[in-house]
Amino acid sequence: MIRYIVNFALKNPYIVIGLAIVLFIWGIISFKNLPIDAYPDVANNYVNIIVQWPGHSAEDIEKQVTVPCEIQMAGIPHMANLRPSTLAAFSRFMMTS
């Protein structure tokens, strides 16, 4: 069966090329008419803010960076929660909406 198909393709190259062109055009038309379903993103939007202050202790960063930033960001519209965390040399905020 395979031998017959290969012999036919070798003896009739114009038919094979024409069939390939028809299939290619049919594929392009089918692709353009393909319905695309966008799946909704069910995860909340989130933002990570990392503030670095090298050479300072976690207590200094908590007093000088984390608490003032947390107070200022408390009034952001549509914010669901704000989770600050402080380590030595940096402060991190994770906000979700």
Q: pTM here?
A: 0.49
Q: 52 with 91, same domain? A: yes
Q: 56 with 89, same domain? A: yes
Q: 22 with 50, same domain? A: no
**Per-residue model confidence (pLDDT) at position 19:** 95
User: How many separate domains does the chain show?
Assistant: 2
Beta-strand pair 90-96/81-87:
antiparallel
Asked whether the CA dihedral 7, 12, 16, 19 is positive or negative, the reply is negative
Token duo for residue 28: 């392009």
**Per-residue model confidence (pLDDT) at position 67:** 85
Average pLDDT taken over every residue of the chain: 85
Overall residue count recorded for the chain in this entry: 97
Q: 92 with 51, same domain? A: yes
**Per-residue model confidence (pLDDT) at position 45:** 79
- Residue 4's pLDDT band, with cuts at 50, 70 and 90, is very high
Predicted confidence (pLDDT) per residue in 41-81, tens digit: 677 778 888 888 888 888 888 888 888 888 888 878 888 88
